[in-house]
Structure 1
């Protein structure tokens, strides 16, 4: 089974880099010929090309929730994080992964099963270098925990 582990983030936005950092660390940990690792600074419609052709994709990205603490992490199905009317509805800059998969299939692309690993951050929009202390301190555990979860997912496939 061909799997892509994809980190999404921005290295000039403090905590938003966490997805890139986790995936970079996992690349050395999950050494397998059936697993590819990539990072992207942007998502959106460009993801169709990145996702297409893989059997499975694990996306690691940052998130801010109402009750979460920086360093918490969650596993989501793409349908669970679709934009709604409260977040501005559907537009090219906030296309959800469920919609993206549907669009890719409508365009004749082979779209994978997707699992999202979302890491709670303090502020994914603050420009600057270096993660905030709570996220930086959680990084080793995030790499271990998310790495173990992805390994279990790969073994189950």
Structure 2
């Protein structure tokens, strides 16, 4: 399969469930940052509700896909970021779980079976503190966003073709 886009960054989540909106918040900040410090040409910034078919549609022709999602961990440390890299079509067992019913691991496995994975897949899972209804991130998750934006910008620039 030909990879036509160098990179896609996908923020997964629901902006109306507090910390579950961290993926969208990171993508929004990356868009703002790109106005001053552009990302590599062809980089796509997108948001998704986590539906496996939509995720596959967003990442299938990318050389690199970076996914940002809220996660639950037990015990948890709100704002802690986990970086998980795809290894030969399978995600390593996570230390945190997706905040969605059908997890990212299932979407990855389905994409692997259907040969719809990007060449490289990196997941940044951010441990949340508040999944209640409403807008806005908790202070701990909000504090993690600036460093996460820079890490993802570096990740995309480093994998430049």
CA distance in 2, matches of 1:152, 1:73: 20
1:132 and 2:138 aligned: yes
- Equivalenced residue count is 143
Length-normalised TM-score, structure 1: 0.75
2:64/2:159 contact within 8 Å kept:
no
SS of the equivalent of 1:77 reads strand
Q: Which stretch of structure 1 is more off in the superposition, 92-101 or 28-37?
A: 92-101
Match of residue 102, structure 1, among 72, 87, 112 = 112
Alignment-derived partner of residue 115 in structure 1: 122
Structure 2 stretches lacking a partner, 5+ long:
none
Alignment-derived partner of residue 25 in structure 1: 29
CA distance in 2, matches of 1:115, 1:56: 8
Q: How does 1:60-75 map to 2 (within 5 A)?
A: 60-75=68-83
Inter-CA distance 65–152: structure 2 relative to 1 (3 Å threshold): farther
Length-normalised TM-score, structure 2: 0.73
1:52/1:104 contact within 8 Å kept:
no
Inter-CA distance 81–50: structure 2 relative to 1 (3 Å threshold): farther
